[in-house]
Amino acid sequence: MESYVALLRAVNVAKTGTLRMADLQRTVEALGFGAVRTWLQSGNVTFESRAADPARLERALERKLSAEVGVTTDFFVRRRAEWRRVLDGNPFPEEAADDPAHVTVLVLKRPPTRSAWTALAAAVPGRERVVPADGHAYIYFRDGIGTSRLTTALLERTLGVRGTIRNWNTVRTLGELVGA
């Protein structure tokens, strides 16, 4: 059995995409996955499965959630080893220790092109620092997230890829839940 982290995009945020975590857990269990655990109310779930393809798992989870609960959203699934690389690759270790709520990981559906990363570097509107990685990026919101103009909409539009953001506290806790 492989352990996975799955993130949902835009649930329980600003009164859109309302989803009870109990419903999410039942949906994931209905697919036959084991050791299902949700974390917080923002669409984080860990589980175990024999399936090996995260993209296939994403599609199955998206279809099942839509059919069972009526919520249509993107899932971003990563294997335990991939999540370990996210944890180990953090280019902001000091900031994460001092201010983990402002260090984030943008998890993407697929890796953007090199030109998209270049366009994003030019589009960063403030003092945010963005470090691209394979299938994700690290973002340090030095002046805070709530007032930043570096929004998910800007990130997705510039990169040409759907994504979802989690702060370092959540990233770390999800790693603990899957033993990464």
Confidence band for 14, pLDDT divided at 50, 70 and 90? low
Q: What is the mean pLDDT of the chain?
A: 92
Residue 139: pLDDT over 70: yes
CA dist., res. 24 & res. 146, Å (int): 27
Through-space distance between the first and last CA atoms of the chain, rounded to whole angstroms? 14
- Overall pTM surpassing 0.75 (yes/no): yes
Domains of the chain, first to last? 2-82 (3.30.70.1280), 84-178 (3.30.70)
Q: Per-residue pLDDT for 34 more than 80?
A: yes
pLDDT score for 11? 65
Q: Where are the alpha helices (DSSP H) in 14-150?
A: 21-30, 54-69, 80-88, 93-98, 114-123
Closest to 47 (Cα-Cα) out of 2, 106, 105, 85 = 2
- Strand 136-140 and strand 129-132: the pairing is antiparallel
Kindly state the DSSP code that residue 4 receives in the 8-state scheme.
E
Q: 67 pLDDT exceeds 90? A: yes
Tokens of 57: 């798992």
With b for 16 or more beta-carbon neighbours within 10 A and e for fewer, the 89-125 pattern comes to ebebeebbeebbebbbbbbbbebbeeeebeebeeebe
One-letter amino acid for residue 14 of the chain: A
**Res. 15: pLDDT tops 80:** no
Residue 21 has pLDDT above 90, yes or no: no
Q: Which position has the higher pLDDT, 9 or 83?
A: 83
Q: How confident is the model at residue 130 (pLDDT cuts 50, 70, 90)?
A: very high
What is the CB neighbour count within 10 angstroms for residue 55?
Answer: 11
pLDDT at site 18? 76
With pLDDT > 90 as the criterion, what percentage of the chain qualifies? 79
Overall average pLDDT of the 97-101 stretch: 95
pLDDT at 13: 55
Percent of the chain with pLDDT over 70: 96
d(CA 112, CA 121): 13
* Secondary structure letter of residue 58 according to DSSP: H
Other CB atoms within 10 A of residue 84 CB: 15
